[in-house]
C-alpha cells in the first residue's frame, strides 16, 4: 500500500532510515551508547552518497545541538540523536533550541543517567529534560520510531518547536523486528521541503537572541518588540496548542501510510475497564501483555499509553480515566524525593478534572532492572485489592 | 512568520546606534576633555581606540557622545597626556 519494503531492523536503523526519508540536510552528532548506531548508519549513508546531507563531526553533544540550531536557523532540516549523559550535556542548548523556535528533530535513545555509569535503559534522561520547551514523544516499537520521526518533522515545522522522539535503549534500539520503510515518494508527499524561510538574510544583518529586557521595547526601526516574559508565554502557548498539530499530523499520516499511533495517547483494552495502567514507551507496550493476563483472570484492566508527554495531554487523560475507579502508573524514572514524574503530572491532571481514582504509582526498570509482565500482573492485583500504593518494583533493598 | 507583535516568536535585533537603548543614564562619572592638552595633529586617538562603546569621535576636537557614554573611565585612564578627567557627576556641566 505504501510502496515500501519490510526489513528486519533495529529501532536505531529505523530512526536513521526515517531521517534519511525526511531528506535531512544537516546532521551533527556525537557517539554515545545506545544511540551510536543511528549516527553510524547516517554517516554511512552520507559517505556512500545515498543521502545528500552535511554530516558534522563535533566534539560534544553541546556542540552537536548548537550546530543543528545554527543549521535550522538558516532554513535547513536538521537532525541529531543522543542518550543519557550526552542529552544532559545538551541541556543548555535544549533550552536555546526551544527559545530559538527551531524545528529540530532529535532521537533520544533512553538510557539511565550516571553516576554511577549504566548503559542500560530507563527514561530518567529525557524526563530530566521535561521543562526545556521541547515536544516529547515516546515510542512503543521500532515501526513507531520510524513513523514518529517522519511525523515529528511535520509537527516541528508547523509549530516551530523542536521535537524529541524517545525510545528505549537496547529494548528497542538494539532489538531487530520487522519494520516497513515507506517509499521516498510517499514521504515526500507527506513532508514537503521546509516552507519557512531562513531567519537570517544576507542583506539584513541581525542579531538573533540578543539580550532583551523584561518589558517590550522599540527597536532601532521603531518597531515594538516583545519582552522576555512575552516570548516565554508565546513558547508555552504554542507548546500547549501543538496538541492539535500532533493529532492532525498522525491523522494525515494514517491517510497516506495506513498506520496511526494515537497522536497524544493510545488505548488498549480500555472498553469497560475499571482499572487503568498508565505508562510510556516499551514498558507501556509490555503492560498490554499484563492487561491481557489480568482480563483472562477476571480483572477489567486496560492500558493508557502516553505517547505525547509534552505537551501533557491532561484533558484527554482526564476524559479517558473518568470512567475508572483505579489507576496504576508504571514508569522508568523518578523525581527524587517525590514520585515518578508521570504519576505526579497525571495526579495534577486528574485533580484539575475533579477526578480522584485510587491512585497507585510505581517506579520500575531503572538502569535495565528487569520487569516482566507476570510481575506487572501481581502489582496491579495488589493495587486493585489493597491500594493506593506508592512503591519501587524489584528494588533489592 | 508574521511580524505583528503578537506573533513574534524569536528575539531578533538589527545593528544600529542605540539598539540597546540610550545608555548614558547608567553613568555615575563623566569624562571631560581638556582640549588644550589634546592637540589635533599629533594626537594619539588612544581614547578612541580603547572606548568600549565607540562613543569618541575621530575628528578633532574630540567629542564624546554622552547619550551613550557609560562613564567607565577607560579613556581617562589610558590618555597619555592626562587630557581626560572624570568628574563625579552624571553630566559634563561640572567643570573642574
Q: Over its length of 397 residues, how does chain A's per-residue pLDDT go in tens digits?
A: 567 899 999 999 999 999 999 999 999 999 999 999 999 999 999 999 999 999 999 999 999 999 999 999 999 999 999 999 999 999 999 999 999 999 999 999 999 999 999 999 999 999 999 999 999 999 999 999 999 999 999 999 999 999 999 999 999 999 999 999 999 999 999 999 997 667 777 788 888 998 888 899 888 888 899 999 999 999 999 999 999 999 999 999 999 999 999 999 999 999 999 999 999 999 999 999 999 999 999 999 999 999 999 999 999 999 999 999 999 999 999 999 999 999 999 999 999 999 999 999 999 999 999 999 999 999 999 999 988 999 999 999 8
Per-residue pLDDT for B11 more than 70? yes
A5-190 against A265-392: fold identical? yes
Residues of A in contact with B17 (CB under 8 A): 220
In this complex, the residue of A101, A205, A223 whose CB is nearest that of residue B10 is A101
Residue B3 lies in a domain: no
State pTM to two decimals: 0.89
| A13 vs A298: CA distance, rounded Å | 40
Contacts of A199 in chain B (CB under 8 A): 10, 12
Q: Would you call B13 and A199 a contact, using CB atoms and an 8 Å cutoff?
A: no
Alpha helix (H) residue ranges in chain A: 11-21, 36-47, 61-73, 84-89, 91-100, 124-127, 142-159, 184-190, 228-257, 281-296, 314-321, 341-352, 373-386
CATH code of the domain covering residue B85 = 3.30.70.20
- Neighbour tally for B82: CB within 10 Å: 10
CB contact, 8 Å: B96 with chain A? Answer: no
Give the per-residue pLDDT at B5: 81
Quick one: CA torsion of A294, A297, A300, A301, rounded to 10 degrees?
0
ipTM computed for the complex: 0.79
Count structural domains, chain B: 1
Residue B95 in this model has a pLDDT that exceeds 50: no
Cell of A168: 528505549
Q: Is the pLDDT of residue B1 over 50?
A: no
The pLDDT value given to residue A123: 98
3-state secondary structure of A80: strand
- Specify the pLDDT at position B96: 43
In CATH, the architecture of A5-190 is: 3-Layer(aba) Sandwich (3.40)
Q: What is the pLDDT of residue A211?
A: 87
Model pLDDT for residues A251-265, shown as the tens digit of each residue: 999 999 999 999 999
Interface contact A199-B17, CB threshold 8 A: no
Residue B47 lies in domain: 19-89
**Which of A116, A117, A113 lies closest to A87 in space, CA to CA?**
A113
Looking at residue A221, its pLDDT comes to 82
| Test the B interface: residue of A225, A227, A237 with most B CBs within 10 Å | A225
| B52 has a chain A CB within 8 A of its CB | no
How do the domains of chain A map onto residue ranges? 5-190, 265-392
**Minimal C-alpha gap between B18 and chain A (Å):** 7
B2: contact with A, CB 8 A cutoff:
no
Q: Report residue B40's pLDDT band, with 50, 70 and 90 as the boundaries.
A: low
Q: pLDDT-derived band of residue B60, with 50, 70 and 90 as boundaries?
A: confident
What's the Rg (C-alpha) of chain B?
Answer: 17
User: What pLDDT was estimated at residue B41?
Assistant: 65
pLDDT recorded at residue A199:
72
Q: In chain B, what percentage of residues exceed pLDDT 70? A: 88
Residue of B9, B14, B16 lying closest to A160 (CB–CB): B9
Whether omega for the bond prior to residue A311 falls within 30 degrees of 0, making it cis, is yes
| CATH architecture for the domain at A265-392 | 3-Layer(aba) Sandwich (3.40)
Amino acid at each position: 500500500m505504501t510502496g515500501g519494503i519490510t526489513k528486519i531492523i533495529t529501532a536505531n536503523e529505523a530512526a536513521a532510515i526515517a531521517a534519511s526519508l525526511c531528506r535531512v540536510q544537516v546532521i551533527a552528532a556525537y557517539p554515545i551508547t545506545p544511540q551510536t548506531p543511528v549516527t553510524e548508519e547516517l554517516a554511512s549513508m552520507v559517505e556512500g552518497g545515498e543521502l545528500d546531507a552535511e554530516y558534522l563531526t563535533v566534539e560534544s553533544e553541546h556542540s552537536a545541538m548548537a550546530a543543528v540550531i545554527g543549521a535550522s536557523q538558516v532554513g535547513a532540516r536538521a537532525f541529531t540523536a543522543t542518550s543519557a549523559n550526552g542529552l544532559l550535556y545538551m541541556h543548555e542548548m535544549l533550552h536555546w533550541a526551544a527559545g530559538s523556535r527551531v524545528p529540530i528533530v532529535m532521537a533520544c535513545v533512553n538510557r539511565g543517567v550516571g553516576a554511577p555509569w549504566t548503559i542500560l535503559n530507563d527514561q530518567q534522561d529525557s524526563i530530566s529534560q521535561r521543562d526545556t520547551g521541547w515536544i516529547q514523544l515516546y515510542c512503543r516499537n521500532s515501526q513507531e520510531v520510524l513513523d514518529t520521526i517522519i511525523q515529528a518533522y511535520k509537527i516541528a515545522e508547523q509549530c516551530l518547536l523542536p521535537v524529541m522522539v524517545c525510545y528505549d535503549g537496547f529494548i528497542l534500539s538494539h532489538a531487530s523486528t520487522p519494520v516497513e520503510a515507506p517509499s521516498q515518494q510517499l514521504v515526500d508527499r507527506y513532508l514537503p521541503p521546509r516552507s519557512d524561510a531562513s531567519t537570517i538574510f544576507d542583506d539584513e544583518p541581525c542579531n538573533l537572541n540578543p539580550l532583551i529586557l523584561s518589558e517590550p521595547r522599540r527597536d532601532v526601526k521603531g518597531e515594538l518588540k516583545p519582552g522576555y516574559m512575552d516570548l516565554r508565554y508565546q513558547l508555552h502557548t504554542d507548546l500547549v496548542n501543538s496538541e492539535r498539530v500532533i493529532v492532525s499530523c498522525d491523522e494525515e499520516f494514517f491517510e497516506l501510510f495506513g498506520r496511526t499511533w494515537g497522536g497524544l495517547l493510545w488505548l488498549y483494552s480500555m472498553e469497560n475497564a475499571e482499572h487503568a495502567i498508565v505508562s510510556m514507551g516499551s514498558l507501556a507496550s509490555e503492560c498490554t501483555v499484563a492487561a491481557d493476563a489480568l482480563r483472562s483472570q477476571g480483572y477489567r484492566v486496560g492500558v493508557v499509553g502516553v505517547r505525547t508527554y509534552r505537551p501533557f495531554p491532561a484533558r484527554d487523560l482526564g476524559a479517558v480515566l473518568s470512567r475508572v475507579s483505579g489507576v496504576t502508573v508504571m514508569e522508568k524514572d523518578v523525581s527524587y524525593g517525590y514520585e515518578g514524574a508521570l504519576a505526579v503530572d497525571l495526579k495534577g491532571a486528574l485533580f484539575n478534572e475533579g477526578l480522584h481514582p485510587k491512585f497507585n504509582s510505581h517506579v520500575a526498570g531503572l538502569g535495565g532492572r528487569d520487569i516482566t509482565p507476570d510481575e506487572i500482573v501481581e502489582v496491579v492485583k495488589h493495587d486493585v485489592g489493597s491500594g493506593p500504593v506508592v512503591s519501587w518494583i524489584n528494588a533489592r533493598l | 512568520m508574521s511580524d505583528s507583535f503578537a506573533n513574534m516568536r524569536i528575539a531578533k535585533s538589527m545593528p544600529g546606534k542605540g539598539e540597546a537603548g540610550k545608555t548614558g543614564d547608567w553613568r555615575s562619572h563623566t569624562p571631560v576633555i581638556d582640549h588644550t592638552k589634546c592637540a589635533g595633529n599629533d594626537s594619539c586617538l588612544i581614547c578612541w581606540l580603547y572606548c568600549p562603546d565607540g562613543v569618541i569621535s575621530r575628528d578633532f576636537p574630540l567629542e564624546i557622545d554622552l547619550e551613550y557614554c557609560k562613564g567607565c573611565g577607560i579613556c581617562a585612564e589610558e590618555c597619555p597626556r592626562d587630557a581626560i578627567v572624570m568628574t563625579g557627576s552624571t553630566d559634563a556641566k561640572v567643570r573642574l
